[in-house]
Structure 1
């Protein structure tokens, strides 16, 4: 009798273990995360309720670009209650110079591994001089981050791909930043819209890209390098212009650690489940 019970328990444990080990999909192996900006309006009204929505979608990986009036400790508690992890914490550029220690402390309180900047303040076209100063700032902050066990990433927005000496300003930024201190987050839409190929860029810098924003662009929308896209032109993954299978396969071969869905559409709450379904069947 006892041996029979033991066999049943072993079988149940094996079933649970197998279920937990099941990948999300064949190409995207683990459930992708989401950027808080996707549900910015909802977060602005109800943080706990929005986190509940995210959990209900089956997502437990979050990149926070805003604390929505909460302290880092308060946000961490809300995340912990729902089994959601903040893996990346997005901040404004100026804070890496003005409040580096506070930024890193908030990131650690949130439980984040990555700290991310998504915009280099500038007027008009970006210049080599701007990129040189940016590289200096990034190296300095990235070194501090590494000393505290964190990884600093910069998220592209398009203006970095202006031509420069046979390459682009992005190439200059990659060259002038220390790979030990500065990594990158690829926004695939803001790589594609300025005329770049995300696959080519991933292959060129396979170890530099650690994070990725998954975003698709409505068919027929023209490209630009200004980092501006009308919200309604952000569509569910797989329905727009980008070659998602090729990009995701390249990301799988590169050092990309986290994939985050970023949907800027007013219909994001309806489109995110559609994007998840698409990614799962790839």
Structure 2
């Protein structure tokens, strides 16, 4: 059975104490999720600048790094489907990453994209392919899978050149030139859609290499009269937006994806991430 999970970043703003964090995790479990996806920078103390940058990006981490996440996850009854780590941490201290994965009983480490990276430079992306293959090979020796998580930037055209659909872009190169024995994918359909790509096409291409699937809906929430006839798109609870979520879930199931992981950073109903994930769970539970 495919796992239903929540990305830890969703709950960062409401994890004020260990006691209230356990209540949040219990709410996730009660809503019907069986797993959580953790972030390396949220389960251990991190530099101040990291916390500032994540908050500025709309992803507050709260005080999470001070908590005993092993105990909290165990008490809640949730599993850990995967852990997000940056590639530099994997390369510089792979033993710690391996030990972390084993301690949380997960086999999936996810690279979450590269910070300040020239994705439109083909040579730089080719170097990234080599780094991913090397890191994935080392993790595989310890029975851990390396997955790559996309955003929208992987779908830019190299050197801003004209190109056919899904050609001459970083994501195609990452798929075609990484070694599938060592590198697979955690596909995020929201960011593909944001880049103007049909996410169903990407899932067809990835097929069994899509080990995990990040999901959120995309649309607009209007609470009062708009000044103009245009309103801003943002993430939405599942079934409340305009993405073909039902077909995406069915496609993910047909690929034997291990986990469908909910993630949205903001624009939550009533500005409450717990209410938001509970509403999305109702939709997700009806499809899985």
**TM-score normalized with structure 1 length:** 0.79
Q: Note if contact 2:200-2:248 (Cα within 8 Å) is conserved in structure 1.
A: yes
1:127 matched to 2:137? The reply is: no
Distance apart, 1:209 and its partner CA: 0.8
Rg: which structure is higher? 1
Structure 2 SS opposite 1:185: strand
Per the alignment, residue 237 of structure 1 pairs with 238
Per the alignment, residue 272 of structure 1 pairs with 277
Q: How does 1:107-122 map to 2 (within 5 A)?
A: 107-122=101-116
Q: Note if contact 1:89-1:114 (Cα within 8 Å) is conserved in structure 2.
A: yes
Runs of at least 4 residues off by over 4 Å: none
Q: Note if contact 1:208-1:255 (Cα within 8 Å) is conserved in structure 2.
A: no
Distance apart, 1:147 and its partner CA: 0.8
Q: 1:256 to 1:30 in 2, by over 3 A?
A: closer
Counterparts of 1:212 and 1:260 in 2: how far apart (Å)? Answer: 6
Q: 1:89 to 1:272 in 2, by over 3 A?
A: same
Q: 1:75 to 1:97 in 2, by over 3 A?
A: same
Q: How does 1:68-107 map to 2 (within 5 A)?
A: 68-70=64-66, 74-107=68-101
Q: Which consecutive residues of structure 2, in runs of 5 or more, have no partner in the other structure?
A: 44-63, 223-231
Q: Note if contact 1:215-1:235 (Cα within 8 Å) is conserved in structure 2.
A: yes
Distance apart, 1:249 and its partner CA: 1.4
Distance apart, 1:52 and its partner CA: 2.5
Counterparts of 2:221 and 2:194 in 1: how far apart (Å)? Answer: 12
Q: Note if contact 2:151-2:188 (Cα within 8 Å) is conserved in structure 1.
A: yes
Q: Note if contact 1:116-1:153 (Cα within 8 Å) is conserved in structure 2.
A: yes
Q: 1:133 to 1:255 in 2, by over 3 A?
A: farther
Per the alignment, residue 286 of structure 2 pairs with 281
Counterparts of 2:253 and 2:192 in 1: how far apart (Å)? Answer: 17
Per the alignment, residue 210 of structure 2 pairs with 209
String of CA shifts for 1:176-226, please: whole Å, max 9, x gaps.
2100000100111011110111111111120211101111122499xxxxx
The two structures, once aligned, show a CA RMSD in angstroms of 2.3
135-144 vs 165-174, greater mean Cα deviation: 165-174
Structure 2 SS opposite 1:238: coil
Structure 1 SS opposite 2:212: strand
Counterparts of 1:163 and 1:131 in 2: how far apart (Å)? Answer: 12
Q: Which consecutive residues of structure 1, in runs of 5 or more, have no partner in the other structure?
A: 1-28, 222-230
Counterparts of 1:220 and 1:51 in 2: how far apart (Å)? Answer: 27
Per the alignment, residue 10 of structure 1 pairs with none
Per the alignment, residue 59 of structure 1 pairs with 33
String of CA shifts for 1:35-55, please: whole Å, max 9, x gaps.
101111123544333323322
Distance apart, 1:85 and its partner CA: 0.8
Q: How does 1:245-264 map to 2 (within 5 A)?
A: 245-264=246-265
String of CA shifts for 1:252-281, please: whole Å, max 9, x gaps.
111411001112224321121111112233
Q: 1:127 to 1:109 in 2, by over 3 A?
A: same
Per the alignment, residue 38 of structure 1 pairs with 10
Q: Note if contact 1:75-1:110 (Cα within 8 Å) is conserved in structure 2.
A: no
String of CA shifts for 1:82-134, please: whole Å, max 9, x gaps.
21111101112221221111111111111112001112122565321221111
Counterparts of 2:214 and 2:147 in 1: how far apart (Å)? Answer: 12
Q: Note if contact 2:108-2:145 (Cα within 8 Å) is conserved in structure 1.
A: yes
